[in-house]
Amino acid sequence: VQLDMEGALTARDRVGIQDFVLLDETTEAAVISNLKKRFSKDLIYTYIGTLLVSINPYKELDIYNKKQMDIYMGVNFFELPPHYALADNAYHTMLTEFNNHFILISGESGAGKTEASKKILQYYAVSCPSTTLLNTVRDKMLMSNPVLEAFGNAKTLKNDNSSRFGKYMDIQFDSQGDAVGGHILNYLLEKSRVAHQNHGERNFHIFYQLVEGGSDKLLQQLGLERDCQHYNYLTQGECAIVSSINDKNDWKSVKNALQVINFDEENTSHLFGVVASVLHLGNVRFDTDGKGHALLNDKTELNWVANLLGVDANKLLEGLTFRKIETKSEQVLSPFTIDHAIYVRDAMAKAIYGQTFTWLVNRINETIENKDSSRKTVIGLLDIYGFEVFYVNFEQFCINYCNEKLQQLFIQLTLKAEQEEYEAEGIEWEPVQFFNNKIICDLVEEKHRGIISILLQDEECLRPGDATDLTFLERLEEKMGNHPHFVHKLADKMIRKTLERGDFRLLHYAGEVTYCVVFLDKNNDLLYRNIKDVATQFKSSLLKLTEMLMAKEAWYIRCLKSNESKQQHFDEALIRHQVKYLGLMEHLRVRRAGFAYRRKYEDFLKYKPLCPATWPHWRGLPADGVELLAQHLGYLPDEYKMGTKIFIRHPRTLYATEDAYEKCKHELTRLQAKYKGYKAKGEFRKQKEATKIETCWRGAQARKEKEKRAWAVKVIKRFIKAYINRGQLKTTDNSEYLAFVRQSYLNRLKNNLPVTVLDKTTWLTPPAVMTEASEVLRKLHYRLMVRKYVRGITPQRKAQLQLKFITSCIFKGKKESYPQSIAQPFANTRIGESGDLIMQCEHLFECLTQLSVIANKQNAIKVVQGIKVEIQPGKETAVDFSTGQEPMAYKAKNGHLMV
């Protein structure tokens, strides 16, 4: 839908103009009107030359899918609506010129800077060539985002996912354009948020994700409860639970991302242990003794901190409640008051979290950095904090100072690039009036006179107490009392009424901000001296960042908030304020100072149908063709200039050309229709000849197919007829089928023969035609199995079987216990030295069989039914043999069996 609505210049009357440079009027009102018109149609992106302006719509737009990304790859910067075009052009310029680039994303908190950075990174991940190795690198770079957001982002009054640190990420590309690695630099994490949040704000996301999403087992190991209200550091803003944030789902995303970027279980466990230690530290509460000194009555939370950090609990307690003063001869412990103890506790929590965040960034860098030493080109993404006015602390002062430096860099690079282009093209440069904020940067950073220098010089500011605040403010008033951008207590009465004790005000390029020197106490992270190091390090880091950016080609994205309430409407007053302080009007005036439109000759030659000399094909140099075209269109000498590209001064000139081109295209369409008709007729004649050949060929193929089918029908009919006559005697009609039946049965029988002589059931039922043959085969097979079995019997086994045969003849069917005893193997009988027969038999049947064989009187044994002799367990009995008139057996008076 968006692409249909845009249509480059032709859509200007319906949805505004996508490039502000082509506006007829360059007033602030015209700019805002154009933004509003496009915003109403969900067109949130606009150009000022090559600068991209983005407005946060506060809703999901279906313009970030893979299909949309593919459309933008490798096209001209102005061929498609502003969207991925800036990212794609930076990429292809880097490949063509083999140099380094960076994209500066700026705007206030909540304008969408972080989202813009993520979308660009996703675009590079999709657009670059794909291999398994590169996919791994891309996954790691993409997955670094949710981890850094969890540990570095928080809900603020302006933004539910506000970056509370500055991030610069270099994406490294090899000579083929493959993304092979990356490196992240982080700036000024807002550590004060760990210990304190304003009303309506939250701590860093990771704390809530751990408490709400961590497993029961993990929380138990860390000594945590699944209740954010239980922790002092999570409840100061009174909005621990926010409907728009799903901490449980975000926790799963973070866990998954840590695995992708190669965090093993040990490092992950330590990481969450440190996060939990900060929560426990925030719950350490102090009491006071009679002298006003801080005491710790309940050591439960402190012991958890010590355990999770691997430190001695007593040493930790000493550090939280005493100050160590070293003299030449000894160390003295001076007890803290409760206020000092709380301050040290919070300072420690902030220091622990700050060091953890630095460690985390370093670990991610180890994972995503490319170790290959060959030369790489890079595209840097700078997602820096937005200009802030809402919370008075030292981080805010540094954030706004950073924004001043970046604005200064933007002005320098923009003017420099524009002026260098005009000089290279031999076109006269017309100076543009703009606000140069160098005066504000000098106010903060100038040697010996700037605010930071005064802060570093004043040793008093390194000690706590009211004297520090007043001393520092007096030094500021003394050094810069007459500065036009510094307002303080000595100002006129009206201004003085708006300032509290210890306040001073800076007139930034983005507006006035009041600062309170109390930040000196609240941000002395480690024993009151760290602010000096912080200020020095941040100033140094910012200087290095500026130098690094100056060495790269710059691209800009300016992000605007559409409203303060995160709704889907356009707040003109808010937009006007942002347009002003982001320098959009100055940038527009710079771009319009000379020529509104500039385009490569090859691109401008799309208008060649407007000139007979260049239509339909221009075979000469592109510049010569453009010159002919411009003259034919009646361009006056002061309306355009020719350099390495064509420069057109007024948008109306381009609009007239575009309108003529649209009219010409309409006429050309009619000509094309007639020509296409003529071509189609010629193609039809050719096709007609080819159709004859195709007809003959298809006829030959059809005849072959007919013969195959006739043969198949004949075979099938014969088979069906044979099946119908299968029960009759063998004839010509059924002989083939019967042969098939016999063969089929024999094949199945071969795979299903019985494997033992005892198997009498698995013989396949034969068809009628095979009944007799099947019986013969069955007998042969069983005889074969019997022969194999007999040949495998040993002499010993044969003797046993013979004995069992005799036993079977004598006892089978005559005694109930016969089936149980016959299964047991018979033991050998041995003859003693004196000729006595010694036998050991488990069953009577075996004994009697052995006796009958030795005596050779098998017929002497008679089996009498109905006598039952019970033998008690553990007792013996005997059988007495005697002679009598007739065979009989009975139980004698002595309990023996008499035979």
875 located within any domain? no
**Cβ count near 140 (within 10 Å):** 18
Contacts of 427 (CB under 8 A, 6+ apart): 594, 595, 641, 643, 647
pLDDT for residue 33 is more than 70: yes
pLDDT band for position 525 (cuts 50, 70, 90): very low
Instruction: Tell me what pLDDT residue 3 has.
Output: 31
pLDDT for residue 643 is more than 70: yes
Which residue is associated with the tokens 């150009």?
47
pLDDT for residue 502 is more than 80: no
Instruction: Tell me what pLDDT residue 457 has.
Output: 67
510 located within any domain? yes
Best mean pLDDT range from 11-25, 280-294, 839-853: 280-294
Residue 200 marked ligand-binding: no
pLDDT for residue 280 is more than 90: yes
Instruction: Tell me what pLDDT residue 813 has.
Output: 80
- Lowest-confidence pick of 358-367, 593-602, 685-694: 593-602
In which element (H, E) is residue 76 found? none
pLDDT for residue 25 is more than 90: no
Long-range contacts of 35-41 (CB under 8 A, 24+ apart): 35/560, 35/570, 35/575, 35/579, 36/570, 36/572, 36/575, 39/562, 39/570, 40/570, 41/5, 41/15
State the average pLDDT for the chain.
Answer: 82
Instruction: Tell me what pLDDT residue 361 has.
Output: 96
661 located within any domain? yes
Residue 109 marked ligand-binding: yes
Catalytic residues: 109-110, 114, 159, 162-163, 386, 388
Rounded Cα distance, 615 and 613, in Å: 6
pLDDT for residue 222 is more than 70: yes
pLDDT in tens, 48-88: 877 899 999 988 887 776 666 666 565 554 555 556 778 88
The strand pair at 837-838 and 830-831 is best described as: antiparallel
pLDDT in tens, 563-583: 988 888 999 999 998 888 787
pLDDT for residue 276 is more than 50: yes
Of residues 823 and 353, more confidence is placed in 353
pLDDT in tens, 843-874: 777 888 888 888 888 887 877 766 666 767 77
- Lowest-confidence pick of 374-378, 615-619, 653-657: 653-657
Tokens of 357: 């965040």
Contacts of 365 (CB under 8 A, 6+ apart): 183, 184
235-257 mean pLDDT: 93
Residue 113 marked ligand-binding: yes
pLDDT in tens, 386-409: 777 655 567 778 888 888 888 888
Angle at 822 between CA 816 and CA 828, to 5 degrees: 135
Q: What is the CATH number of the domain that holds 648?
A: 3.30.70.1590
pLDDT band for position 796 (cuts 50, 70, 90): confident
Which whole-number Å values give the CA distances from 863 to 620, 806, 839, 847, 867, in the listed order? 129, 14, 21, 14, 10
Instruction: Tell me what pLDDT residue 410 has.
Output: 80
pLDDT for residue 464 is more than 70: no
Question: How many domains does the chain fold into?
Answer: 3
pLDDT for residue 157 is more than 70: yes
Which residue is associated with the tokens 């999901």?
60
> Do residue 420 and residue 503 come from a single domain?
yes
pLDDT in tens, 723-737: 887 777 777 778 888
Helix (H, G, I), strand (E, B) or coil at 112: coil
> Do residue 422 and residue 505 come from a single domain?
yes
Residue 625 marked ligand-binding: no
Boundary-marking domain end, from 634, 667, 700? 667
- Which range marks the domain in which residue 464 is found? 410-517
Share of the chain above pLDDT 70, in %: 87
Boundary-marking domain end, from 652, 667, 682? 667
Share of the chain above pLDDT 90, in %: 25
pLDDT for residue 304 is more than 90: yes
pLDDT for residue 6 is more than 50: no
The strand pair at 331-335 and 166-173 is best described as: unpaired
pLDDT for residue 297 is more than 60: yes
Q: What is the CATH number of the domain that holds 478?
A: 1.20.58.530
Instruction: Tell me what pLDDT residue 393 has.
Output: 63
Evaluate if pTM is beyond 0.75.
Answer: no
362 located within any domain? no
> Do residue 752 and residue 653 come from a single domain?
no
> Do residue 745 and residue 660 come from a single domain?
no
DSSP for 746-775, written as a single string: HHHHHTS---STT--S-SPPPPGGGHHHHH
β-pair partners for 507:
512
Rg from Cα positions in the chain: 49
The strand pair at 101-106 and 51-56 is best described as: unpaired
Residue 536 marked ligand-binding: no
pLDDT for residue 8 is more than 70: no
For every residue of 409-478, which 3-state class applies, written as one string?
A: HHHHHHHHHHHHHHHHHCCCCCCCCCCCCHHHHHHHHCCCCCHHHHHHHCHHHHCCCHHHHHHHHHHHHH
780 located within any domain? yes
466 located within any domain? yes
Contact 642, 598 (CB under 8 A): no
Instruction: Tell me what pLDDT residue 619 has.
Output: 87
pLDDT in tens, 434-463: 677 888 888 888 887 888 887 776 554 444
Contacts of 488 (CB under 8 A, 6+ apart): 473, 476, 477, 481, 499, 503, 504, 505
Helix (H, G, I), strand (E, B) or coil at 13: helix
Residue 110 marked ligand-binding: yes
DSSP for 479-537, written as a single string: HHTT-TTEE-TTS-HHHHHT--TTEEEEEETTEEEEEETTHHHHT-TTTT-HHHHHHHH
Residue 181 marked ligand-binding: no
Of residues 444 and 842, more confidence is placed in 444
368 located within any domain? no
Boundary-marking domain end, from 791, 810, 837? 791
653 located within any domain? yes
